[in-house]
């Protein structure tokens, strides 16, 4: 059995009420809390929260737990909460936004992003007078400005590299060398432009960026709007500016992935493991500890095991706990993560 420190269990899924279990954790021991609480009045999981009679009561309960999550979070930690909405009398209750507002009102956290999960395969239901919901928010909160944020690891994730490498050709950026020569830049400015262009080309070849655009004084128009922003000033003072493009997955607050299908699954509402892997790359170092207080079928734990992170998980339903444990046992560690951080 593994331990975090003292008698705090890691790499385990404990069965019980998270409001009680989380109190056993000391302050500031968790790197990332990532979770999906039961949505308001959507399902009966056989106990626990979600079926309060009023949405305010639901939000109050959730905020109680949220406060505890902030307490156990390290100062440079991150919190990610995924919450779905609910129709009442044919009107959306805006439950996710009620929660996000209440969470920021605690003044314990700041909201960095609302990341939209676009479900590529929403349940095919046809409503007569409304569209099929196919998105859900993931709210990303932090405790301090110093939050862990590893864009490089996020970019280095294989599918991203493969994508950018596919697009890399040996001629990338070469035309800009010709434009530098044709430009009105001084010899010193041309030399510095060539140097930075060569570095930008290497970044694309190494898969660190997807591509870039270069603007050169006298060749390209100043950025639209004509205000003296950073790029306009660079064009004026240095003679050129390079705009790096990191690709959709890094820059956009949207993650597109299908709703998960899991062999032998007994849980009605699982989120996709690959979506959680995205957050692990971005928000946690290798070997750190992740908490999911609503562990359900164990998706968070599976993602952690695959990527060499530790997990602490709770669920109130014993059947789900058992299923989740078996699912984690059957999960293999991704080879490249076995040696990471050694
Ligand atoms: C939306 S599901 C989480 C699904 C999970 N993300 C997955 O991918 O399988 C919410 C879970 O919270 C559990 N739950 C509800 N109230 C709880 C409580 N007070 N303490 C611990 N677990 C609770 C339910 O049993 C349910 O499995």
Which CATH fold would you assign to the domain 12-154+250-338? Rossmann fold (3.40.50)
Which ligand 1 atom minimizes the distance to the CA of 46? Answer: 25
Instruction: Measure the CA–CA gap between 153 and 208, rounded to whole angstroms.
Output: 10
Paired tokens of 27: 């302050």
Residue 297, both tokens: 């079928």
pTM of the full structure: 0.77
Residues 6+ away with beta carbon under 8 Å from 272: 257, 258, 259, 260, 299
Distance CA 325, CA 304 (A): 13
Highest mean pLDDT among 156-170, 253-267, 278-292: 278-292
> Average pLDDT over the chain, rounded to whole?
88
Q: For ligand 1, what atom is nearest to the CA of residue 320?
A: 27
State pLDDT tens for residues 80-128.
Answer: 999 999 999 999 999 999 999 999 999 999 999 999 999 988 877 778 8
How far, in Å, from the CA of 50 to the mean position of ligand 1?
9
Tell whether ligand 1 has an atom less than 6 A from the beta carbon of residue 269. yes
Q: What's the CA gap between 145 and 78, in Å, rounded?
A: 11
| Number of residues assigned to the chain | 342
Contact (Cβ atoms closer than 8 angstroms) between residue 306 and residue 336: no
CA angle 45, 275, 55 (to 5 degrees): 40
How far is 27 from 143, CA to CA, in rounded Å?
Answer: 13
Task: Report CA(294)–ligand 1 centroid distance (Å).
Answer: 4
For the chain, what are the domain ranges? Answer: 12-154+250-338, 169-206+211-245
Q: How confident is the model at residue 172 (pLDDT cuts 50, 70, 90)?
A: confident
Q: Is 245 in the pocket of ligand 1 (CB under 6 A)?
A: no
Q: How far is the CA of 287 from the centre of ligand 1 (A)?
A: 24
Both tokens of 260, joined, read: 């998960």
Ligand 1 centre to CA of 296 (Å) is 5
CB 296 near ligand 1, within 6 Å: yes
Give which of 115, 133, 114, 136 is closest to 125, Cα–Cα.
133
Distances (CA, A) of 43 to 71, 172, 261: 29, 52, 19
Q: What is the DSSP letter of 12?
A: E
């Amino acid at each position: 059995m593994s331990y975090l420190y003292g008698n705090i269990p890691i790499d385990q899924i404990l069965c019980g009420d998270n409001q009680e279990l989380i109190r056993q954790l000391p302050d500031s021991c968790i790197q990332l809390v990532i979770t999906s609480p039961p949505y308001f009045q959507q399902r009966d999981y056989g106990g626990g929260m979600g079926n309060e009679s009023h949405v305010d009561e639901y939000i109050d309960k959730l905020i109680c737990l949220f406060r505890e999550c902030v307490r156990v979070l390290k100062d440079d930690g991150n919190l990610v909460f995924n919450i779905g909405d609910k129709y009442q009398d044919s009107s959306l209750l805006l439950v996710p936004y009620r929660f996000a507002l209440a969470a920021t009102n605690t003044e314990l956290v700041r909201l960095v992003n609302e990341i939209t999960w676009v479900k590529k395969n929403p349940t095919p239901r046809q409503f007569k007078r409304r569209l099929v919901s196919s998105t859900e928010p993931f709210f990303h909160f932090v405790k301090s400005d110093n939050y862990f944020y590893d864009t490089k690891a996020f970019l280095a994730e294989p599918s991203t590299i493969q994508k950018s490498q596919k697009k890399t050709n040996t001629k990338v950026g070469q035309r800009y060398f010709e434009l530098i020569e044709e430009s009105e830049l001084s010899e010193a400015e041309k030399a510095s432009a060539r140097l930075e262009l060569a570095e930008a080309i290497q970044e694309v070849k190494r898969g660190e960026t997807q591509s870039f655009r270069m603007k050169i004084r006298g060749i390209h128009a100043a950025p639209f709007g004509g205000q003296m922003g950073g790029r306009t000033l660079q064009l004026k003072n240095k003679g050129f500016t390079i705009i790096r493009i990191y690709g959709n997955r890094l820059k956009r607050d949207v993650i597109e992935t299908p709703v998960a299908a899991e062999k032998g699954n007994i849980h009605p509402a699982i989120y996709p493991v690959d979506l959680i892997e995205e957050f692990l790359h971005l928000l946690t170092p290798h070997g750190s500890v992740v908490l999911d207080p609503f562990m359900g079928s164990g998706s968070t734990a599976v993602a952690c095991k695959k990527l060499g992170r530790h997990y602490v998980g709770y669920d109130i339903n014993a059947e789900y706990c058992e299923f989740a444990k078996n699912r984690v046992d059957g999960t293999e560690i991704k080879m490249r993560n076995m040696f990471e951080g050694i």
